[in-house]
Amino acid sequence: MSRTLFRTRIKFCGMTRAGDVRLASELGADAIGFVFAHASPRRVHAEEARAMRNALAPLVDAVAVFRDNPGEEVRDVVRQVRPSMLQFHGDEDDHFCRGFGVPYVKAIAMGNSLVDNARALQARYPAAAAFLFDSHGDATSGGSGRTFDWSRIPQGLNKPALLAGGLTERNVFDAVTATLPWGVDTASGVEVSPGIKDGDRMRAFVEEVRRADCHVDPDIKAGTPAGDRANGL
């Protein structure tokens, strides 16, 4: 099956203004991320995210992003914001992540020297709906604007893989054509400052992802299994 039949999902993360939420939705984003991690410059509180959620267009998902937040904080966000997905960037285990009755994505720190293989990741997080591979590591958090070596993404995952870490309108075409992810995620890559999005950059980012989706690699023959893209690899 030709890869042109697949569409890469787009998530814009670290939203702090309702106008940016509405514009991202209208430009074609599939998901919007609200960050609740304590150390993040894009952190918002549940009440703020609840108000911004009202700016979401229909069929656009709200994602709540955490990094080692206490369980009571996660529960409060779930109650007030009603996210359709949770995203965990810290040392949370599967039991914690799945304990809130909302599907979750587990972020994998590709800035670390060692990364589990696909089998080990899926054994550690059996309930994860997807894995997000980001450039953060032990000493850095997400949203750093740095890329990582995309060839290090574990092969053989049977769940969707999302790519993050330093993605901008200038490199997302190469990222999508190189890794064939289920989705891409960016925060700083479409900003003028932390949490303040640039409409032109968001538009260009979406256009570059769609251009990559329509790109036909001459080395890829017709008949490539559809599962390769569905698994994000």
Q: What are the distances in angstroms from CA 83 to CA 25, 56, 101, 153?
A: 15, 11, 11, 27
With vertex at residue 202, the alpha carbon angle to CA 82 and CA 17, rounded to the nearest 5 degrees, is 45
In a domain, 68, yes or no: yes
Number of domains, the chain: 1
Token representation of residue 91? 């040392």
pLDDT digits (tens, 9 = 90+) for 142-153: 455 689 999 999
In a domain, 80, yes or no: yes
132 membership: H or E segment, kind and range: strand 130-134
**CA-closest candidate to residue 228, choices 178, 182, 185:** 182
With vertex at residue 195, the alpha carbon angle to CA 62 and CA 179, rounded to the nearest 5 degrees, is 65
In a domain, 34, yes or no: yes
Q: What is the mean pLDDT of the chain?
A: 89
What domain range is 19 assigned to?
Answer: 8-215+222-230
Question: In DSSP terms, which residues pair with 196 in a beta bridge?
Answer: 193
In a domain, 2, yes or no: no
**CATH number reported for the structural domain that contains residue 56 in this entry:** 3.20.20.70
Distance of CA 133 to the CA centre of its chain: 8
> Residue-wise pLDDT tens for the chain (233 aa)?
345 558 999 999 999 999 999 999 999 999 999 999 999 999 999 999 999 999 999 999 999 999 999 999 999 999 999 999 999 999 999 999 999 999 999 999 998 767 889 999 999 999 999 999 998 665 455 455 689 999 999 999 999 999 999 999 999 999 999 999 999 999 999 999 999 999 999 999 999 999 999 987 666 544 443 345 545 44
In a domain, 193, yes or no: yes
In a domain, 141, yes or no: yes
Instruction: Count the neighbouring beta carbons within 10 Å of the beta carbon of residue 70.
Output: 10
Q: What is the pTM assigned to this prediction?
A: 0.89
In a domain, 3, yes or no: no
Instruction: Count the neighbouring beta carbons within 10 Å of the beta carbon of residue 17.
Output: 15
- Do the beta carbons of residue 70 and residue 102 sit within 8 Å? no
In a domain, 59, yes or no: yes
